[in-house]
Each structure stands twice: as structure tokens, then as C-alpha cells.
Structure 1
Amino acid sequence: MKKAGIIMVIGSLLLLGLFKFPLWNIMLGAPQYPEPLGMNIHLDGIQGVEEFDIQNIDGLNHYIGMKTIPKAEEMWEFSVFPKVILGMSLLGVLIGVLGFAGKISYKFFLGWFVLMSVLGILGMYDFNLWLTEYGSDLDPKAILKLKNPDGTPMSYKPPLFGHQKLLNFDVTSLPHIGGYLMFVGMFLTLVAFWLGRKFSLKTAK
């Protein structure tokens, strides 16, 4: 059980990588932009991959009526998400320490994983809602008013995950370093659960 507790602590601490590295990345490439434009989504705000990327993306979006990329203080998520991640990391460390000391069941490791998964799904759902609004709520007075073949206004919603063609732009949305650290950390908590269960079954014989 001690090994399981240690792995649980390590997995939980990996979540803290989100305070240093971006969670997600969206890149926009087009023939007129040999160097793609990009933005990194952090726990506490959105930053350009390069110095003027946000400014350039906002400039392009202006022509089709999209809103400017929000600042951290304009979205409640950027004040809540850091607290959630810090709280879950500390909770996971506490569970790991108690598991190491044999004070709680290995089932708490799985409980933490389930709770973190639910919070992660809710976070992705919220992020997708923001992308939908960002790409669909267009200014009717925009310079360019493009429509679908059926006459409905065209949506410029970036993909939540993967690649999508938006006009002449190739848009790619993928996890960044912080996101991968979070996924690895969550996987390690499953490993901790498996080791804890294995130890419990062995000692029960």
C-alpha cells in the first residue's frame, strides 16, 4: 500500500504543472501566414504563442465579426479553475499520504480519479460552449458576411480537439504540456488504485 500511496501523491502533484505550462493550444495556419498564429489556453488566461499572435488573430476576427479574445478578468473560469486544480492536487496528496500510512482504503484513489474526471468533463464542456459562442455570435455589421449553402450564417467555431478547415485557415486544437501532465497524473492515480487493490487482496488471503 505504501507504493500505491507514493504513486498517488506523484500523480496528484503532476496537476501543479498546469500552473506553469498551458493546458491547451489552438493554432491557425494559412498560405498568407507562413508562421502560424497560435494561442495557448492557461488556467488563468489566454496568451499568444508569439508576442503579437493575439493581436493578429483579433485583427482577422474583426473582418468576420468575431469578438476579441477575452482577457482573464472577463471570464469567471480563469479565476475558478486554478482553485479547482490546486484543491484537487492537495486532496490527492492527502489521500496518497493517508493511503501510505494505511489509514484509508485504496478505493479513495479511484474516488479521486472519478471526481477529477467529472470536473475535467465539465471543464471541457464549458470550454466547448465558449468556442461555440465565440465562433457563432458574430457582429451583423461585420465587413465580411459569409453564409453556408443553405443561407444560414457560417460558424467559425474552432474544433475542441483535432483539425478543421475554416475558410482558408487550417485550425488545430490539441492539449499542451500542462494538459498532458494532467492526463499522466490521472493515469498514475489509476495505477495507484490497481496497486492498492492488489495489495489489499494479497493481505486478505
Structure 2
Amino acid sequence: MKSASIIMIIGSAMLLGLFVFPLWSIELEAPQYPNGIGMNIHLDGLQGREKHDLQNIDGLNHYIGMRKLPKADEMWEFSTFPKVIGAMAVLGIVIGLISLFKSISPKWFLAWLVLMVILGVLGMYDFNNWMVDYGTNLDPKAIMKMTDADGNPLSYKPPLFGTRHILNFVAHSYPSTGAYMMGFGMFLTFMAYWLGIKKTKIVNT
């Protein structure tokens, strides 16, 4: 179980990368922005890909009635998510350390992983709901009022994952470095569980 415990510790610690690297990245391409503009979504707030990108995005959104991008203190997620991720990292490391010095069931590794998956799904659900509200709840007094063929207001919601054309923009939304680190860490915890189960069966035979 020693190797499985060490892998569990490393996998859990990979979550700490989210405190340094962005979780998600959204980029907008348009003729007037040949190099594109974009923002990185961190656990505790938004950052422009370049210095003035957030300001430029807010300027564009003003014309179609979208709200300004939220500040860190304007969304509960930016204060809650760091606490959740920090707690999960510490919990996983503690489970790994206990397993390192005391024999415990590998099912503890699996329980941590299942909880992490549930929290991840809930986080993505919340993120998508925010984008739906952000892209569809428009100011009726906006300078530009764009509608579809049936006369319904257009949605400017960026894709949760992938690429979407929005007017003359092409929006790209993909995981960033922090998300890949988290995903790899979760894979390591599954490997720790698998190794633990394998070694437990060998001991019991």
C-alpha cells in the first residue's frame, strides 16, 4: 500500500495547482481583434489574457446589453471554490498519509475520488448556469438589439466546451492548465485505488 499511498498524496496535491493556474479559458476572435481577446477563469476571479482584455470585453458587451464581467467579490463562487478545493486537497493528502502509516481500505481513495467528481460536476453545472444568465439576461435598453429569424433575442452565451460563432465573433471555451492538473490528479487517485485493491487481494490470497 505504500506506493498507492504516495500516489494518492501526489494526486491530491495536484489540486493545489488551481491556486496558481487558471481553471478555464475563453477566447474571442473577430476581424477587429486579429490576435483575439480572452479571459482566464481562476478559482478566485477573472483575469484578462492580455492587460486590457477584460476592459475590451466589457466594452463590446455594453453595446448588446450584457452586464460587466463580475469582480471577485461579486460572485460567491470566487470565495467558496478556493475553500472547497483547498479542503479536498488537504483531505486527500491526509487520507494518503494515514494510509502510509496505517493500513486502511483503498475504498477511502475511491470515496475521495467520487466526492471530487460530484463537486466537479456541480461546479461545471453552476458555471454553465452563470453563462446562460450572463449571455441571455440582457439590458432591454441596449444600443444593439439582435434577434433571430423568429424575432427572439439572440443568446450570446459562450460555449461551455468547444467553439461557437456569435455574430462576427468566434468564441472558444476550453479547460486550462489548472483543469488539466486537477484531471491528472484525479486520475492518479484512481490509480492509487486500483493499486491498493490489487495489493489487498494479493495479501488476502
TM-score calculated relative to the size of structure 2: 0.99
**Paired letter, 1:127:** F
SS of the residue corresponding to residue 51 of structure 1 reads: coil
> 1: CA distance between counterparts of 2:39 and 2:129?
18
Secondary structure of 2:184 counterpart: helix
Match of 2:139 in 1: 139
1:43 aligned residue: 43
Q: How do residues 52-201 of structure 1 correspond to structure 2 at under 5 angstroms?
A: 52-201=52-201
Distance 2:159 2:136 in 1: 13
State how far apart, in whole Å, the 1-side matches of 2:135 and 2:103 are: 50
Amino acid at match of 2:47: Q
Question: Which letter does structure 2 place at the counterpart of 1:202?
Answer: I
The offset of 1:104, in angstroms, is: 1.5
Task: Give the match for residue 8 of structure 1.
Answer: 8
Question: 1:44 is matched by which residue type in structure 2?
Answer: D
Moved over 4 A (4+): none
**Greater mean deviation of Cα atoms: 65-74 or 95-104:** 95-104
Q: How far apart, in 2, do the equivalents of 1:197 and 1:71 lie? A: 45
Q: Show CA shifts across 1:147-186 (max 9, x none).
A: 0111111000000101111011110000110110000000
CA distance in 1, matches of 2:3, 2:149: 60
Helix, strand or coil: the match of 1:62?
helix
Matched residues, number: 205
Q: Which amino acid aligns with 2:78?
A: F
Which one-letter code corresponds to 1:190 in the other structure?
A: F
Measure, in 1, the Cα distance between the counterparts of 2:77 and 2:94: 25
- Give the share of equivalent positions with the same residue, in percent: 61
Task: For structure 1, list consecutive stretches of 5 or more residues without a partner in the other structure.
Answer: none
Does the residue aligned with 2:153 lie in a helix, a strand or coil?
Answer: coil
Cα RMSD, aligned residues only = 0.6
Q: Partners of 1:48 and 1:146 in 2: how far apart?
A: 26
